[in-house]
């Protein structure tokens, strides 16, 4: 399953992308400022509300499954020691809270990706950051959102091809090498074709982007984003 934009008419779909970016930034600031269990518990409810507002569910998080082992084992690694007492619960607990904080950020990010078209994200960035820097960032974000799923699909296809040719009997290191080489070759090929396509279409720094406008639902969400920044400031 690949996380991508899903057309809909949910509350999050109706929000201006600039509003959603503000809420994301405020949520991240609050999550990094309030690292206690109580603070993260409050942010858990908010993260769940963001996903619900985008008509999403926990199945959307499966797109981040590569990160789950790291988040799970990080506290165990942090708490382990080479000598007595062999395991420090305090260090493990601190890292566990940090891992959970990252998970909450992924939930809010999933709500944004699910409810925001790529062109709207580009328009929001270019109209927030003026000049060439904004155009550069907007184009970069658009390309990442469009091509990251394709690159992941290429890696999955390379892995299936290796398996179909009996590669599952090879050592893990050799299988990883074959998949990495094939995936890199496909990525470079896509990059070459992308450059040719951009040149053929006369890529411009001032493309026609969708119009953005704040609606009635945006103002409470903007207040929420500002409130999250204020909540983060209380921990300073």
Q: Is the pLDDT of residue 198 over 60?
A: yes
Contact predicate 60/2, CB 8 Å: no
pLDDT tens column, 3-42: 678 888 899 999 999 999 999 999 999 988 888 888 889 9
Rounded mean pLDDT, 39-61: 89
CA neighbor of 225 nearest in space, from 36, 15, 52 = 15
Interval 121-179: pLDDT, tens = 878 887 777 776 766 676 666 666 666 667 777 777 877 887 887 777 778 778 788 77
Instruction: Supply the angle between the helices 118-128 and 17-33 in degrees, to the nearest 10.
Output: 80
Q: Is the pLDDT of residue 202 over 70?
A: no
How many CB atoms within 10 Å of residue 54?
25
Query: What is the predicted pLDDT for the residue at 52?
Result: 92
Question: CB atoms < 10 A from the CB of 102, how many?
Answer: 14
Q: What is the phi/psi pair of residue 80, to 5°?
A: -75, 145
Q: How many helices (H) and strands (E) does the chain have?
A: 9, 0
DSSP state string for 62-119: GGGGGGHHHHHHHHHHHHB-SSTTSB-HHHHHHHHHHHHHHHHHHHHHHHHHHH--HH
Stated pTM of the model: 0.71
Can you tell me the distance from the alpha carbon of 16 to that of 19, in angstroms, rounded to the nearest whole number? 5
CA 96/CA 108 separation, integer angstroms: 19
Res 185: pLDDT: 78
Kindly state the tokens that stand for 126.
Answer: 């270019």
pLDDT at 166: 79
Between residues 198 and 130, the one the model is more confident about? 130
Model confidence at 50, pLDDT cuts 50, 70, 90, reads very high
Residue 236 has pLDDT above 80, yes or no: no
Q: What is the model's pLDDT at position 148?
A: 66
What value does the mean pLDDT take over residues 50-62? 86
Burial class (CB in 10 A: 0-12, 13-18, 19+), 210: exposed
The residue-averaged pLDDT of 60-68 equals 80
On the question of pLDDT at 223 being above 90, the answer is yes
Contact 217, 16 (CB under 8 A): no
pLDDT of residue 69: 85
What are the structure tokens assigned to 167, written together?
């590669």
Note the pLDDT tens digit of each residue in 204-222.
656 667 788 888 889 999 9
CA distances from 181 to 17, 157, 171, 185, 198 (A): 37, 13, 16, 6, 26
Q: What is the pLDDT of residues 69-84, one digit of tens each?
A: 888 888 888 888 887 8
């Amino acid at each position: 399953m690949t996380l991508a934009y899903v057309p809909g008419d949910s509350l999050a779909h109706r929000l201006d992308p600039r509003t959603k970016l503000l809420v994301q930034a405020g949520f991240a600031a609050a999550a990094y400022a309030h690292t206690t269990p109580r603070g993260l518990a409050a942010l858990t409810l908010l993260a769940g509300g963001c996903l619900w507002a985008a008509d999403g569910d926990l199945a959307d998080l499966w797109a981040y499954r590569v990160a789950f082992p790291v988040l799970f084992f990080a506290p165990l690694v942090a708490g382990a020691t080479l000598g007595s007492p062999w395991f420090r619960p305090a260090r493990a607990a601190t890292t566990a809270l940090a891992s959970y904080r990252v998970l909450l950020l992924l939930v809010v990010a999933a709500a944004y990706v699910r409810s925001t078209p790529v062109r709207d994200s580009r328009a929001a960035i270019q109209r927030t950051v003026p000049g060439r820097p904004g155009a550069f960032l907007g184009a970069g974000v658009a390309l990442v959102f469009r091509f990251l799923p394709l690159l992941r699909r290429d890696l999955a296809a390379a892995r299936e091809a290796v398996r179909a040719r009996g590669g599952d009997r090879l050592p893990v290191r050799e299988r990883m090498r074959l998949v990495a080489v094939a995936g890199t070759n496909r990525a470079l090929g896509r990059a070459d074709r992308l450059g040719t396509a951009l040149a053929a279409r006369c890529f411009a720094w001032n493309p026609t982007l969708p119009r953005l406008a704040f609606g009635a639902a945006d103002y409470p969400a903007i207040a929420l984003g500002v409130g999250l920044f204020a909540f983060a400031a209380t921990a300073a």
